[in-house]
Amino acid sequence: MRKSLTVIIFLLLTGFSQLLLANPKLVPVAPDIPAKAYLLIDQESGYILASKNMNERIAPASLTKLMTAYVVFYELKSGTISLKDQVKISEKAWRMKGSRMFIEVNKRVSVEDLLKGMIIQSGNDASVALAEHVGGDERAFVTLMNKHAESMGLKNTHFANSTGWPNPNHYTTAHDLAHIAMALIRDFPEYYPLFKIKEFTYNHIKQYNRNRLLWLDDRVDGLKTGHTESAGYCLITSAKQNGMRLVSVVLGTPSDNARASASRALLDYGFRFYKTFALYKAHEPLAHRRIWKGKTETLPLGLERTLYITAPRGSRSKIKANMNIDSMIVAPAAKGQTYGTVNVMLGKQQLAQRPLVALNDVPEGGLWRKLVDNVLLMFK
């Protein structure tokens, strides 16, 4: 009897699994986690898999340091500073309270060590030292933080310092934090590995990365923890599995264990029920259209960036793409100029919409071509 019951349960579970893969509508709701706000998003497609209160303003605590790191990485890539720069530590940096890497006033510390102290140890002293080195003082550096936030299109974010120290004018959202993390991963792949370092020793003091998922989950390779009394326990995590990278933001949980468990639950949900794939490659001709009065008669149209789609597992065959292209295209055409859109649908749900652009320049044709096309257009 027990053996028969086991077989029946196995068949039921197997059948449900196959039905789930065949019918994407059966994707369950996201796990119920103890957080004030959260967001799970795919790095490549920007598709939001799960969210709660993602546009609600919160105090970001040390998650602020992601933007501090972004600005420093930007200056490193621009060549205005280098990892080997020796930074003289100010009294302000030395006196910072909260988490520290224990730098000493008037000593010189390399930018590389300060970055490790800020990212791995969440050092407020390191954050201020870096801000002063890049901006001259922290206040000037904060203006750079806000300008980068504006350029990213973050409408619900404003920084008042480089550390995350509580301030009424220092706020952001789960949505905006996710986009800061995604920009950091996308724009600075050469520096992103700093976020997966588990420990760092400075001044004979060894400290460990507060992101416990680095030890518990091999998929995880970043990013940052945060905690204050008002913000609660927060964690931004990035993980990669089978070529798919997800970013989770968990804000306002009651404990260190809770933020780790909540983040892992979101990642498990995303990797289990969704898949990301490249639908169309960048600069690949998706259509050729007649161009009038041009040096050539056809204009290739495509995408400037590879189009990634995130969708429920088993639904790829049900995804449909259609193109809306301008009915009349007349030379000259400039490479990158928009002549329509690509719309990707899963049933009635729009998964993506991207501009169709010219892949080549097409200059105006000669006098004879213009005369011929003018006549043809009269009959069109």
Residues annotated catalytic, as ranges: 62, 65, 122
CA distances from 78 to 74, 134, 136, 346 (A): 6, 12, 17, 41
Q: Residue 284: which of 266, 303, 269, 308 has the closest Cα?
A: 303
- Cβ atoms 273, 27 nearer than 8 A: yes
Both tokens assigned to 112: 């590389």
Q: Which amino acid is at 363?
A: P
The SS3 assignment for 51 reads: strand
- DSSP 8-state class, residue 2: H
Residue that the structure tokens 């000259």 belong to: 332
- DSSP 8-state class, residue 313: T
- Cβ atoms 43, 270 nearer than 8 A: no
- Specify which residues 205 forms β-bridges with: 202
